[in-house]
Chains A and B, each alone.
Chain A
């Protein structure tokens, strides 16, 4: 007999936060890119490549932190590609992002084959270990939920706060928002519109890569084919739901993380056929978009900025 408490318990909430982290990271990345006026559909591909790069780096070096670094770098590189294509060569933003996604899927599978001889899963590598926060993790209930996670989870909270400060309390943030909302005005104010866009899209790639490595190194310590499973798109929904604000996106990510954790738990308990449960995060995303977007005002019209 399955009890209610087998499903809804402290472990679920802890899992929710764990699952929320990659989505939150990618969503923050999406915010930076979109606030500068570039749609980044390629978050999924950047996450996946980051997940792969992290495992590969850890495989060759034995050090998971090098893996995290590799993931961030690789994500940033893909971000640079996206920026180059959409800003300099005026490629349609959705097409560029989709191309990057397809590339990532094929490239990671290909390299998986090359390195480990299997396109399905890599070998197990050194991953990130859970680091309990002293004192906090001793508090009953709450301590179990937020006191013991891999360092990446704590990092994401810091990154969220930093993102808010950067976007709304610094000159750079002001300029980013100007560039996205009214690039001509930013240009005549002497701001380098193109450089700002490049920077923001690269940052979004880095954050996406960071989210991806969390899925691989921060969880099961392996890379499997297509392991991001659409989370890059769910991150976009979280970003919209959160009205392109860091704290809003983080909150939305928790919601989606909860759905993800719930789905895993239900699967483990064998309550419903796995396939039906697996649809939960995606249906939830659609529901969220359907319920929320009406009020959403995007921070940009995403038109490519062309100078004479």
Chain B
């Protein structure tokens, strides 16, 4: 029986980073095939080659037994390959229907768009694939889960028989993920082939027929899902046992560091993002904020760091009212911030390591003579100290941060923010996109700061991370705090349920 997709000896390098190293992959027809690996293992690159976004340096691709050259997404589409990306490819101001037909628009007389035809055809697809969406709304108003459905519809509309889903559950709750799996099974019944890229062991094991594991650009092996288990997969993925527990000091005397009262905020689209949020964070504590991305976490971090003006409510640091304080004032009062987008908010990529390490303190006496002139000796000494303390892999202090890996960049941010001896740390998605080593390091450091008395607000979409690190957990859903729990009295399932607005039992 010919396979749906066969990739033989595929290699791809970007400058001197080898992303794919002679990879062989065989995907059978009408199977759900898992592509498992850590961040940076090469999964997305491999599938981008299949989708024509990249060209392989060497190797061959066979679709349904015939060798093909895929040099663009339209070529891939013609061969029946469709990709649902991790970062959605939806044009925000266009409606669902317009996004779906983009590139293959039905027309009246070749020139004008035929909107009625569009609606009819797409409605047809929706019904057949068990996916329900309102076709007339602009996509920027839709929730992430619904946007994903639109992406899948897009791919089906183009006649894809082979669907590649790139980390689809990274933005879904456990319940929404179940809905996605149901849809995947329906696709399999229609004899479609699905390639499921993920780094989440449990899901891959639950839904896939066969699993191929990648590590550092090479294939480690392909196994039948029914013949393997979590431990074996983890070992294949990482090459060693994964340690996931953290010992924390038990502390009795804690005081309130951050007091948030009835905080309200509006997001960039003018819609309410935070609706009367109230909570406290104590010293010697990590308060985990669990929630699916897009439920107000970004706006919460922004109002707490002074980057967004609240629409109501109060924020107190100790007994200082900081509701309307500027970012500079907050830094001065002892708030440190590890932003969720390190390239956008966290670092100035074209500044050197040293220049990034003094960001936020560049006008303070520690680094200036007379408050106007920079003292490069002081800055340089500080840089050396931090580079040593945090094991930052930088060739020199003048190396541009742009040329460093994601993990090293995050270390620079962590070094800068934690060394200020803050009272409060706001960490948003601090380990997103980092490899296992860097992730462990950041988590270790967070616990260290907590043990030294710091109050930490940990905002993360990674449930494992929340459960492993938090002393207390709050769940945020649609801009409201819907629950406050201690890790001992709850479970991941319950948190997952709360994250989607379901009530606990």
Contact = CB atoms under 8 A, between A and B. Distances in A.
Pick the most buried of B14, B85, B103, B104: most chain A CB atoms within 10 A of its CB. Answer: B103
Contacts of A170: 107, 111-113
A101 to B, nearest CB: 28
Contacts of A221: none
Given A174-B102, A174-B113, A190-B103, A185 B93 contact: no
Contacts of B3: none
A175 interface: yes
A177 B74 CA distance: 19
B105 A188 contact: no
Contacts of A190: 72-74, 77, 103-104
Given A169-B113, A189-B73, A190-B73, A174 B92 contact: no
Given A185-B102, A188-B85, A178 B113 contact: no
B129 to A, nearest CB: 19
At the interface, is chain A mostly helix, strand, loop or mixed?
A: helix
B53 to A, nearest CB: 7
Contact of B103 (A177, A181, A191, A307): A191
Contacts of A165: 112
A177 B98 CA distance: 11
B91 A186 contact: yes
Contacts, number: 66
A74 B102 CA distance: 33
Interface in B104-120: 104-105, 107, 111-113
Contact of A185 (B89, B105, B113): B89
Nearest to A187: B73
A189 B104 CA distance: 8
A228 B4 CA distance: 62
A92 to B, nearest CB: 15
B89 A191 contact: no
B94 interface: yes
A184 interface: yes
Nearest to B106: A171
A182 interface: yes
A3 interface: no
Nearest to A299: B93
B111 A189 contact: no
Given A170-B113, A171-B107, A189-B102, A178 B72 contact: no
A30 B77 CA distance: 33
A300 B154 CA distance: 22
B54 interface: yes
Nearest to A182: B91
Contacts of A308: 14, 53-54
Interface in B71-88: 72-74, 77, 83, 85, 88
Interface of B: 14, 51, 53-54, 72-74, 77, 83, 85, 88-94, 98-99, 102-105, 107, 111-113, 154
4 shortest A-B CB distances, which residue pairs?
A190-B74, A189-B103, A185-B89, A171-B105
23 contacts: A169-B113, A170-B107, A170-B112, A174-B98, A174-B102, A175-B103, A177-B93, A177-B94, A181-B94, A182-B89, A182-B91, A185-B89, A185-B102, A186-B91, A186-B103, A187-B73, A188-B83, A190-B74, A190-B77, A190-B104, A307-B53, A308-B14, A308-B54
